[in-house]
Structure 1
């Protein structure tokens, strides 16, 4: 999937950066791989939250923010858990009104 092919960002649950590639996790359960960096997606998808160095999350898909074994994470409607870095914790709290 190319950056220009994103017609409906609402279908994206979260994105995971892997070196110079990005994995896009979609509502329908599929994972698309793109040769575009996560930073480029962050610039294109305003409103998405950068929760760690390698994760960008659609805030409309977050159902819970929790801590497990000392690691904070966001739980998504899809059932996925995405880790939240210590430095991004306050951004998540502000964005979600926690």
Structure 2
């Protein structure tokens, strides 16, 4: 892993992983790089990235599949790696993925459309 500034070509970035005050930048064609800014600042400067959890953000063009787990959580397949989606962010992530034009994601159909009240009711169970 090498230290670098944020790559100018964001199309090469598959996902970002927060690591304290640093961010690991995973690229499609190279080893991970370390950036000295927080994940929040990185996501704010990069357009189109989807936040999966407190410590993960993903470039949606590299998502090929999404799956629901038995414990009401979900995972997305990004460049051969399964990344977890936090339970409270599943619905916003699914909505963002459905809003993408021209992108086919396997498994997206198994997630029903639900409203905010549906989310609150299931969280209270």
Give 1:86 deviation, angstroms: 1.0
| Structure 2 residue 57 is matched with structure 1 residue 56 | yes
Structure with the higher strand share, 1 or 2: 1
Question: What are the superposed Cα offsets for residues 65-95 of structure 1, whole Å, 9 maximum, x if unpaired?
Answer: 113452311101x201111011111111111
Larger RCO, structure (CA 8 Å, separation 6 or more): 1
**d(CA) in 2 for partners of 1:88, 1:7:** 28
Unaligned runs of 5+ in 1: none
Find the counterpart in structure 2 of residue 73 from structure 1. Answer: 75
Give the TM-score, by structure 2 length.
Answer: 0.71
Give the TM-score, by structure 1 length.
Answer: 0.89
How large is the RMSD of aligned CA atoms in angstroms? Answer: 1.3
| Structure 2 residue 35 is matched with structure 1 residue 18 | no
Mean CA deviation greater in 10-19 or 59-68: 59-68
Find the counterpart in structure 2 of residue 87 from structure 1. Answer: 88
Q: Do the aligned residues in 2 keep the contact of 1:52 with 1:88 (CA within 8 Å)?
A: yes
Q: How many residue pairs get matched?
A: 95
Structure 1 runs of 4+ off > 2 angstroms? 67-71
Find the counterpart in structure 1 of residue 41 from structure 2. Answer: 40
Instruction: Mark the structure with the bigger radius of gyration.
Output: 2
Question: What are the superposed Cα offsets for residues 26-75 of structure 1, whole Å, 9 maximum, x if unpaired?
Answer: 00141001111101101101100001000010000000111345231110
